[in-house]
């Protein structure tokens, strides 16, 4: 029986494996992709995420990311821009995940590639993974994908998310450089920024009833160009870098795991399996890395999963729920117009929105290297 099995080798799972392996724990990471793979993610790393990666011994700047210093909000022909309080970077999940998995293996974790976990059973004293009692503790870090037997108690959200990479024209790449752009359109929004090798990440949210009449990805892009003059300019002369876009449906934005005493004491949820923050915040990887540190500290301190999830909910629950309210405003056509006008005439409004997407609780734990004090005893 393995001491600890991490299901999923994304930022949360790989970071937790690094911390536990360095503490001398027997850790196995089961990653479904046999090699580097793209993920549905905005590819933005905040200053807090960069700090946490540095604590893990990883320097993302070695991967030649794009530096991002400002945010630009666009609605129709209106635009507002504001510097970020702390610079971030654009780095693909393909590059980030591989760097973390390499570090996990160097730290002593057994990284098993090409292994898809089909089911988890928590009915007994041990946790069965794919029918065998393989784990003392399981860290569930499968991101947006649920595993049979351990599904999140969350409903489906009303959006389809798409992601692709584009090679922009030289002029448009230079116009975008240094910015993350949030483009509002009827019923949804898109994010555009540069990553390593000058590739532009385009992510967008749209409702299924809007997608249905478009029939194809090219049809959807044509609709976006018509609905968003700014995107029409940005995408002019661009070349697709993926054969088809990545897609995910029904992300439960605003959901935070609510632990109950009947939960298995050694099943720890990390990243999007613990809570789902709206994508426009750029805090998804930050929260994933935070859950990794909190889970590793909890296990090393002898906590059970119920207490870990209660502590996690106390730290990030309010942040996720608060930003979900802003997500709903960004998805409402009438509110989009008001927000765009407010930001155009008073850019400080963008600063208020940015402040809503950060958590002081996470920063406290990032700066602490001590073991957690148990809050529930």
- The C-alpha atoms of residue 342 and residue 1 are separated, in whole angstroms, by 58
pLDDT digits (tens, 9 = 90+) for 200-233: 999 999 999 888 888 899 999 999 999 899 999 9
Please tell me the pTM assigned to this model: 0.90
Phi-psi region of 205 (alpha: psi -120 to 50; beta: other; left: phi over 0): beta
Q: What was the pLDDT predicted at 377? A: 29
| DSSP for 117-135, written as a single string | --BEE-SSSSEEETTEEEE
- pLDDT tens series, the chain, 377 aa: 578 999 999 999 999 999 999 999 999 999 999 999 999 999 999 999 999 999 999 999 999 999 999 999 998 888 888 898 889 999 999 999 999 999 999 999 999 999 999 898 887 667 778 766 666 799 999 998 999 989 998 888 999 999 999 999 999 999 999 999 999 998 789 999 999 999 999 999 999 988 888 889 999 999 999 989 999 999 999 999 999 999 999 999 999 999 988 889 999 999 999 999 998 888 999 999 999 999 999 999 999 999 999 999 999 999 999 888 888 887 877 776 676 666 665 655 555 555 556 654 554 544 443 344 433 32
Q: What was the pLDDT predicted at 33? A: 95
Q: What was the pLDDT predicted at 368? A: 44
Structure-token pair, residue 40: 């549905």
* Residue 358 CB partners (closer than 8 Å, separation 6+): 48, 283, 319
- Residues 327 and 280: beta-carbon distance below 8 Å: yes
- The C-alpha atoms of residue 14 and residue 359 are separated, in whole angstroms, by 23
Topology adopted by domain 2-156+252-366: FAD/NAD(P)-binding domain (3.50.50)
Helices (H), ranges, the chain: 11-22, 47-55, 93-106, 170-176, 208-211, 217-227, 229-235, 284-300, 305-330, 333-345, 348-356, 360-366
């Amino acid at each position: 029986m393995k001491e600890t099995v991490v299901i999923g080798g994304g930022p949360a799972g790989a970071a937790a494996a690094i911390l536990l392996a360095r503490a001398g724990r027997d850790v196995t990471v089961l990653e479904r992709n046999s090699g580097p793979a793209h993920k549905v993610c905005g590819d933005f790393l905040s200053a807090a995420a960069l700090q946490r990666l540095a604590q893990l011994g990883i320097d993302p700047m070695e991967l030649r990311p794009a530096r991002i210093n400002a945010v630009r909000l666009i609605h129709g022909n209106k635009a507002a821009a504001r510097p970020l309080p702390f610079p971030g970077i654009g780095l693909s999940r393909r590059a980030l995940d591989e760097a973390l998995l390499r570090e996990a293996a160097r730290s002593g974790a057994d990284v098993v590639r090409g292994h898809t976990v089909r089911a988890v059973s928590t009915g007994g004293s041990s946790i069965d993974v794919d029918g065998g009692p393989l784990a003392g503790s399981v860290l569930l870090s499968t991101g947006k994908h649920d595993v049979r037997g351990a599904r999140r108690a969350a409903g489906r959200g009303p959006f389809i998310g798409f992601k692709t990479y584009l090679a922009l024209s030289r002029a448009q790449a230079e116009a975008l450089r240094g910015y993350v752009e949030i483009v509002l359109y009827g019923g949804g929004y898109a994010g555009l920024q540069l990553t390593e090798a000058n590739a532009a990440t385009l992510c967008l949210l749209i409702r299924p009833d809007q997608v249905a009449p478009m029939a194809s990805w090219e049809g959807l892009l044509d609709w976006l160009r018509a609905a968003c003059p700014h995107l029409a300019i940005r995408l002019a002369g661009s070349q697709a870098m993926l054969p088809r876009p990545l897609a995910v449906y029904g992300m439960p934005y605003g959901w935070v795991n609510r632990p109950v005493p009947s939960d298995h004491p050694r099943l720890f949820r990390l990243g999007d399996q613990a809570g789902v923050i709206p994508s426009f915040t750029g805090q998804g990887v930050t929260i994933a890395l935070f859950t990794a540190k909190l889970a590793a500290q909890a296990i090393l301190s002898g906590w059970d999963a119920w207490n870990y999830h209660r502590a996690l909910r106390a730290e990030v629950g309010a942040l996720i729920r608060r930003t979900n309210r802003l997500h709903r405003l960004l998805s409402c056509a009438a509110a989009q117009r008001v927000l765009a006008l407010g930001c155009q005439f008073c850019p400080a409004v963008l600063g208020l929105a940015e402040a809503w997407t950060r958590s002081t609780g996470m920063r406290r734990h990032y700066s602490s290297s001590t073991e957690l004090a148990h809050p529930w005893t």
